[in-house]
């Protein structure tokens, strides 16, 4: 790991640590086999493994892929097509600012997709992608959204369940 | 290593987290920090709407929208401009003065719109055209200042600015304006809202890409005030800032607030060299 990447990862760890009431499961942050427990106001705690994945369901339940597809399209929920294209032909105008979602189920595990929905900045601090399951460490949030995640835990699970079918 | 990262919002965020004050690098000589480098020259026939890598929103507009802007008789903004023309020579206030009383014909305003926002040493603060006009009303005319986003203020701002149409934007960031410029640049690069986006994510990093059917422009200010088809009305740059903030679920700041004033200076400076188009037409 070069110094720059290490610094980024460290920065992410600080963010989570400072705001997350984090307890480290390993002495070195984000090393292989590391476990990071993240807990933010109004959210269920979750564990990031190796800094790359959240293997466990946030809600403790399986997701519903049919509902996940609806949430992915919905402009006040996932609204994923603003930036990503997806194999959903009935929807016009897919964005092209982010990688296509087609084949994401081949490229990533459910846990890796889950982390990218929950907080993609753990992977890439400069990403334009929003963290869908985060309530802390944000600036100037509109009053009606303060303390609320963009999606709740079951909505995240439903979208993960849909995305994993895109093979 | 850290120096190369200071322009990135994450570095700013990390700096703040660690309780460090991260100095915003000057680096005004490296425009790629402020405008996305363009791989293509301006489209044929639209070269006047580009300067270096800067591209006016006119280039991103559809041909129909451009046609509306090109003809003053078709451009809906001229409903406001015509009223402002009458207003120019109408005396008002306790001093019973009009704009004309001090400035003569409105043509004398040529060049003024190109250099605002501007630091005013007498007031000791940054003024944009709206604030300058209201200052004239309250001090010179002893009349009530117009409300921000009122038809009167939008019309008069457009009338004054359009006297500089075609002239290159040329705002100064030297001397006392520098502090405002740096504040504006910092705001531009700071993530805000539930969606946690900075201006730069869409208007630098993703410039030229599509979000759904929306082609992301550079967010240039040279056309403001602008008649937006979506608004069905003439509107100010600060109204546009509020719209952007609202879209990413960020708290909207007040028109004329110190944050938006600084942002206006920074955003306008990014377009130095682009032609003044006010009042423009946009989607």
Q: Give the mean pLDDT of A17-24.
A: 41
Q: Give the mean pLDDT of B182-190.
A: 98
Q: Cβ contacts of residue B183 below 8 Å, gap of 6+?
A: B258, B259, B262
Which B positions 23-42 lie with beta carbon below 8 A of chain A? none
Query: Which is higher by pLDDT, A149 or B16?
Result: A149
Residue B191: left if φ>0, alpha if ψ -120 to 50, beta else—which one?
beta
CB contact under 8 A, B251 and A121: no
pLDDT digits (tens, 9 = 90+) for B77-131: 999 999 999 999 999 999 999 999 999 999 999 999 999 999 999 999 999 999 9
Output the six-digit token pair for A33: 């086999």
Output the six-digit token pair for B94: 């306790």
Is B102 in contact with B108 (CB distance < 8 Å)?
Answer: no
Q: What is the DSSP letter of B49?
A: G
- Distance (Å) from the alpha carbon of B34 to chain A's nearest alpha carbon: 16
- Distance (Å) from the alpha carbon of A144 to chain B's nearest alpha carbon: 9
- Distance (Å) from the alpha carbon of A130 to chain B's nearest alpha carbon: 5
User: Rounded to a whole number, what is the largest CA-CA distance in chain B?
Assistant: 62
β pairing state of A23-24 and A35-38: antiparallel
**For B51, what's the count of Cα atoms within 13 Å in the CB-facing half-sphere?**
18
pLDDT digits (tens, 9 = 90+) for A46-105: 999 999 999 999 999 999 999 999 999 999 999 999 999 999 999 999 999 999 999 999
Q: Shortest CB distance from A95 goes to which of B1, B14, B212?
A: B212
Say how many C-beta atoms besides its own lie within 10 A of residue A144's C-beta. 9
CB contact under 8 A, A138 and B191: yes
Q: Does B250 touch chain A (CB under 8 A)?
A: yes
pLDDT band at A14 (very low <50, low <70, confident <90, very high): very low
- Is B244 an active-site residue? yes
The Cα B217–Cα B62 span in angstroms is 12
- State residue A132's pLDDT score: 98
Backbone angles phi, psi at B243, to 5 degrees: -65, -45
Query: Which is higher by pLDDT, A122 or A30?
Result: A122
CA-CA distances (angstroms) from residue B65 to B43, B60, B212, B257, B278? 16, 10, 19, 31, 14
Output the six-digit token pair for B35: 């405008």
pLDDT digits (tens, 9 = 90+) for B50-80: 999 999 999 999 999 999 999 999 999 999 9
pTM equals: 0.87
Query: Which is higher by pLDDT, B27 or B154?
Result: B154
Three-state secondary structure string covering A61-104: CCCCHHHHHHHHHCCCCCCHHHCCCCCCCCCCCCCCCCCCCCCH
How high does pLDDT run on average in chain B?
92
The Cα B191–Cα A15 span in angstroms is 14
Residue A4 has pLDDT above 70, yes or no: no
Is the interface score ipTM higher than 0.90?
no
The Cα A95–Cα B211 span in angstroms is 4
Output the six-digit token pair for B186: 């910092």
The Cα B126–Cα B146 span in angstroms is 18
Residue B175 has pLDDT above 60, yes or no: yes
The Cα A39–Cα A43 span in angstroms is 7
User: CA-based angle B33:B37:B39, to the nearest 5?
Assistant: 170
- State residue A31's pLDDT score: 62
- State residue A3's pLDDT score: 45
By C-alpha distance, which of B49, B148, B141, B157 is closest to B99? B141
E strand map for B44-87 = 50-51, 54-55
The Cα B255–Cα B147 span in angstroms is 10
Residue B15 has pLDDT above 90, yes or no: no
Residue B189 has pLDDT above 60, yes or no: yes
Q: Does A4 touch chain B (CB under 8 A)?
A: yes
- State residue B27's pLDDT score: 60
Q: Give the mean pLDDT of A122-134.
A: 96
- State residue B148's pLDDT score: 97
What dotted CATH number matches B38-71+169-282?
A: 1.10.760.10
User: Rounded to a whole number, what is the largest CA-CA distance in chain A?
Assistant: 49
- State residue B1's pLDDT score: 33
Residue B140 has pLDDT above 70, yes or no: yes
CA-CA distances (angstroms) from residue B94 to A45, B100, B144, B186, B191? 65, 16, 10, 42, 46
pLDDT digits (tens, 9 = 90+) for B226-269: 999 999 999 999 999 999 999 999 999 999 999 999 999 999 99
By C-alpha distance, which of B186, B178, B260, B252 is closest to B13? B186
Same fold, B38-71+169-282 and B79-162: yes
Percent of chain A predicted with pLDDT > 90: 80
**Selection from A10-14, A30-34, B218-222 with the highest mean pLDDT:** B218-222
**For A25, what's the count of Cα atoms within 13 Å in the CB-facing half-sphere?**
15
The Cα A55–Cα A49 span in angstroms is 7
Percent of chain A predicted with pLDDT > 70: 81
- State residue A25's pLDDT score: 34
Residues of B in contact with A15 (CB under 8 A): 13-14, 17
The Cα B39–Cα B80 span in angstroms is 38
Q: Cβ contacts of residue B214 below 8 Å, gap of 6+?
A: none
**Which class for B12: exposed (0-12), middle (13-18), buried (19 or more C-beta within 10 A)?**
buried
- State residue A30's pLDDT score: 58
Residue A28 has pLDDT above 80, yes or no: no
Tell me which chain A residue has its CA closest to the CA of residue B7.
A126
pLDDT band at B28 (very low <50, low <70, confident <90, very high): confident
Q: Give the mean pLDDT of A145-154.
A: 98
pLDDT band at B29 (very low <50, low <70, confident <90, very high): confident
Q: Where are the domains of chain B?
A: 38-71+169-282, 79-162
CATH 3.20.20.70 fits B79-162, yes or no: no
The Cα A38–Cα A35 span in angstroms is 10
Which A positions 7-36 lie with beta carbon below 8 A of chain B? 7-8, 11, 14-15, 18
């Amino acid at each position: 790991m070069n110094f720059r990447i290490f610094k980024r990862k460290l920065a992410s760890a600080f963010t989570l640590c400072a705001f997350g009431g984090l307890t480290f499961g390993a002495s070195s942050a984000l090393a292989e086999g590391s476990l990071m427990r993240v807990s933010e106001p109004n959210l269920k705690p979750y564990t990031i493994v190796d800094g790359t994945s959240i293997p466990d369901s946030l809600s403790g339940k399986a997701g519903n892929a049919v509902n996940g597809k609806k949430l992915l399209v919905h402009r006040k929920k996932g609204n994923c097509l603003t930036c990503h294209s997806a194999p959903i032909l009935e929807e016009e105008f897919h964005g092209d600012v982010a990688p296509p979602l087609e084949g994401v189920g081949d490229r990533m595990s459910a846990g890796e997709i889950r982390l990218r929905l929950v907080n993609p900045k753990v992977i890439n601090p400069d990403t334009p992608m929003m963290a869908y399951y985060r309530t802390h460490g944000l600036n100037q949030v509109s009053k009606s959204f303060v303390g609320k995640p963009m999606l709740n835990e079951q909505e995240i699970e439903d979208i993960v369940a849909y995305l994993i079918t895109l093979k | 290593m850290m120096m190369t990262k200071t322009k990135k919002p994450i570095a700013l965020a990390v700096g703040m987290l660690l309780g460090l004050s991260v100095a915003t690098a000057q680096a005004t000589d490296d425009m790629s920090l402020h405008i996305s480098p363009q791989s293509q020259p301006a489209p044929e026939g639209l070269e006047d709407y580009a300067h270096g890598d800067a591209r006016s929103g006119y280039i991103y507009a559809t041909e129909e929208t451009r046609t509306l802007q090109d003809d003053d008789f078709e451009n809906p903004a001229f409903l406001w401009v015509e009223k402002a023309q009458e207003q120019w020579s109408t005396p008002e206030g306790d001093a019973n003065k009009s704009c004309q009383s001090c400035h003569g014909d409105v043509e004398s305003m040529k060049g003024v719109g190109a250099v605002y926002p501007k630091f005013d040493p007498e007031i000791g603060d940054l003024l944009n055209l709206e604030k300058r006009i209201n200052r004239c009303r309250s001090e010179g005319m002893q009349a009530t200042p117009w409300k921000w986003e009122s038809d009167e203020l939008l019309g008069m701002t457009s009338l004054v600015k359009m006297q500089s149409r075609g002239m290159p934007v040329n705002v100064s960031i030297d001397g006392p304006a520098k502090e405002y410029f740096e504040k504006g640049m910092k705001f531009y690069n700071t993530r805000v809202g539930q969606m946690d986006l900075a201006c730069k994510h869409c208007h630098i990093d993703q410039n030229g890409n599509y979000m759904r059917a929306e082609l992301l422009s550079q967010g240039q200010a040279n056309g403001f005030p602008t008649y937006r088809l979506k608004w069905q009305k003439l509107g100010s740059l600060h109204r546009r800032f509020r719209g952007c903030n609202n879209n990413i679920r960020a708290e909207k700041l007040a028109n004329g607030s110190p944050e938006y004033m600084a942002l206006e200076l920074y955003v306008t400076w990014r377009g130095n060299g682009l032609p003044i188009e006010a009042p423009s037409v946009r989607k």
